C-alpha cells in the first residue's frame, strides 16, 4: 500500500470569489471577499441577509446539450457538483476512453439539500388546517402529494451528487457519499485516498458541494446556527480567530479534485499540482482540542514530517468564538512548541462556510498558493482573540517557504479530519 503514491492532477472550483481557478486566485491575491447581500431571493424578513453566494452560475454552461434534460432533477447543490466535476476533468485533461471505467471512482461530501418553496408551498397551503403550523395529513395523502412534481425526491437526495457525476462520466468504480456536515468533503478525500492506496482504483473525482442559500435553509440556519448578524458590513463579518468574531457566515459552492495514482498520472502525461501524503480522522468528544490534535498528528505521522515542516495550516476558522477557541487549542497542542510559529490561514473569511463543500474548496485555495508561491492573507483579522493564540496570516500575502500544508475541518459535534499535502516539484 505504501508504494502507491496519490497525486492531484486537476481542480474544479465554483465559489463566491470566482468560477475559474484564475478568477479565484486573483480574488485571493486582491483580498476580495465574496460575501455580500443575498441576491437569490428576498431576505428582508430574515435576521441575517447576507452570505457567500456563487454569482453568475448557469449549469447549462458545464454540461453537454444532450445531457441538459437531467438538470431538471438536480437541485442547485447537485448542479454545482456536476459542474465542478466537469471543470476538474477539463483541468486534468483526462481521456475517459483511455482508462478502465471500472477503476474510475467518484466520492463526494454532501449535506442536507433543502427543497425549493415553490415545490412544497402549494401542497402545504392546500392541506393547512385553521390552526397555524398544522397540516391535515389525510388531506395531504389524498390531495397534497398529487400536486408535487413526480420526481421531487430525486432532486434532493444527498447521494445524487456522486450519482449524477458517475453516470455522466461512466465512472463504474468505487462510489460513495459522505454526509457529515462541514467535515464531509475532507472525509470523502480521505476515503478516496485510501481506496487508491489499496489498488482498488486508479482515478477519482472527489470533492464536495453545498448550497444553503434558499429561504427554507436560511430560516433553519438563522434559528439554529451561531451566525454573524453584521448586515451593515457583510464583507467584514467572517473574522476567524479575531477578537471581534461574532458568528459564522453561510456560503455556497463546490470543488472537485482529479485524484490519481502517481504512475497512472505519469503514463498519461498529467500535470501534477501536489501529492496527498497524510490523512487522519478523530472524534473530539469534549470539544477540548485533543481530538483535533490527534487527527493532525495521525496525518503528520503518515506524511513522515513534523509540525516544524508545515508551511501553513489551512484552518477551519469559522469565526464563532467558542469554536475558534477549540480549534486554537488543538493547533497549539500540535504546533505550540515549534521554534517558529506556524502560519495559520482562514479562507472562510473570503467565502463563508460552504458546509460539505468547505474542506476541499479551501484546500484547493492552498494548493493554488503552494503552486504559485504566495499565501494570501486572512481577511478581517485585526486583533487576535485572547483565547486564540495562533499565528494568523493577515495584512498582506506571505511567501510560501516550505513544502507541506495541513488542511483541517471539524463539525460542531466533534468529528475532525486533517490532510497533509506536499508541493510537487
Tell me 403's DSSP state: S
Q: Which three cell numbers stand for residue 374?
A: 504566495
Q: Is the pLDDT of residue 54 over 70?
A: yes
Mean pLDDT of 170-195: 98
pLDDT-based confidence at 412, cuts 50/70/90? very high
Confidence of residue 252 (pLDDT cuts 50, 70, 90): very high
pLDDT at 135 over 50: yes
The CA distance from 9 to 204, in Å, is 10
For strands 203-211 and 415-423, give the pairing.
Answer: unpaired
* Overall pTM surpassing 0.85 (yes/no): yes
For 109, 176, 251, 287, the CA distances from 166, given in Å and listed in that order, are 14, 10, 26, 37
Percent of the chain scoring above 90 in pLDDT: 86
Per-residue pLDDT tens digits for 264-279: 999 999 999 999 999 9
The domain locations on the chain are 6-116+152-267, 119-146, 278-423
Are 419 and 277 a contacting pair, CB within 8 Å?
A: no
| CATH class of residue range 278-423 | alpha beta
For residue 132, pLDDT over 70 is answered with no
Q: Is 304 left (phi over 0), alpha (psi -120 to 50) or beta?
A: left
Among 8-17, 120-129, 193-202, 342-351, name the one with the lowest average pLDDT: 120-129
Find the range with the poorest average confidence among 45-54, 112-121, 171-180: 112-121
Weakest-pLDDT range from 149-153, 167-171, 188-192: 149-153
pLDDT, tens digit (0-9, with 9 covering 90-100), for 348-405 = 999 999 999 999 999 999 999 999 999 999 999 999 999 999 999 999 999 999 999 9
Place domain 6-116+152-267 in its CATH homologous superfamily: Thiolase/Chalcone synthase (3.40.47.10)
- Please indicate whether the domains covering 6-116+152-267 and 278-423 agree at the CATH topology level: yes
Q: Is the pLDDT of residue 144 over 90?
A: no
Amino acid at each position: 500500500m505504501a508504494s502507491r503514491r496519490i497525486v492531484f492532477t486537476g481542480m474544479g472550483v465554483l465559489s463566491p470569489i470566482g468560477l475559474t481557478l484564475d478568477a479565484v486566485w486573483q480574488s485571493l491575491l486582491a483580498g476580495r471577499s465574496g460575501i455580500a447581500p443575498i441576491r437569490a431571493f428576498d431576505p428582508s424578513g430574515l435576521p441575517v441577509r447576507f452570505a457567500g453566494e456563487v454569482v453568475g452560475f448557469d449549469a447549462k454552461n458545464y454540461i453537454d446539450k444532450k445531457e441538459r434534460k437531467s438538470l431538471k432533477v438536480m437541485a442547485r447543490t447537485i448542479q454545482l457538483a456536476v459542474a465542478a466535476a466537469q471543470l476538474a476533468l477539463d483541468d486534468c485533461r483526462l481521456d475517459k476512453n483511455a482508462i478502465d471505467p471500472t477503476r474510475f471512482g467518484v466520492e463526494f461530501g454532501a449535506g442536507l439539500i433543502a427543497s425549493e418553496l415553490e415545490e412544497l408551498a402549494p401542497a402545504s397551503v392546500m392541506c393547512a388546517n385553521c390552526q397555524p403550523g398544522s397540516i391535515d395529513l389525510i388531506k395531504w395523502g389524498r390531495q397534497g402529494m398529487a400536486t408535487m412534481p413526480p420526481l421531487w425526491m430525486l432532486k434532493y437526495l444527498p447521494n445524487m451528487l456522486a450519482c449524477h457525476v458517475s453516470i455522466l462520466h461512466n465512472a463504474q468504480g468505487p462510489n460513495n457519499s459522505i454526509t457529515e456536515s462541514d467535515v464531509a468533503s475532507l472525509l470523502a478525500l480521505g476515503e478516496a485516498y485510501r481506496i487508491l492506496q489499496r489498488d482498488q482504483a486508479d482515478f477519482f473525482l472527489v470533492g464536495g458541494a453545498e448550497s444553503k442559500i434558499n429561504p427554507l435553509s436560511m430560516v433553519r440556519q438563522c434559528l439554529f446556527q451561531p451566525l454573524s448578524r453584521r448586515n451593515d458590513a457583510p464583507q467584514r463579518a467572517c473574522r476567524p480567530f479575531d477578537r471581534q468574531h461574532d458568528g459564522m457566515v453561510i456560503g455556497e459552492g463546490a470543488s472537485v479534485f482529479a485524484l490519481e495514482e502517481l504512475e497512472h498520472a505519469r503514463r498519461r502525461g498529467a500535470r501534477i499540482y501536489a501529492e496527498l501524503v497524510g490523512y487522519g480522522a478523530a472524534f473530539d468528544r469534549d470539544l477540548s482540542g485533543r481530538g483535533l490534535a490527534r487527527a493532525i498528528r495521525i496525518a503528520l505521522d503518515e506524511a513522515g514530517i513534523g509540525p516544524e515542516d508545515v508551511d501553513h495550516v489551512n484552518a477551519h476558522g469559522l469565526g464563532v468564538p467558542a469554536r475558534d477557541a477549540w480549534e486554537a487549542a488543538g493547533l497549539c497542542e500540535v504546533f505550540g512548541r515549534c521554534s517558529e510559529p506556524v502560519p495559520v490561514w482562514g479562507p472562510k473569511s473570503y467565502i463563508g462556510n460552504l458546509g460539505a463543500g468547505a474542506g476541499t474548496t479551501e484546500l484547493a485555495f492552498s494548493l493554488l498558493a503552494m503552486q504559485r508561491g504566495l499565501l494570501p492573507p486572512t481577511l478581517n483579522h485585526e486583533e487576535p482573540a485572547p483565547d486564540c493564540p495562533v499565528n494568523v496570516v493577515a495584512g498582506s500575502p506571505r511567501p510560501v517557504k516550505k513544502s507541506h500544508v495541513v488542511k483541517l475541518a471539524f463539525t460542531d459535534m466533534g468529528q475532525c479530519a486533517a490532510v497533509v499535502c506536499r508541493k510537487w516539484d
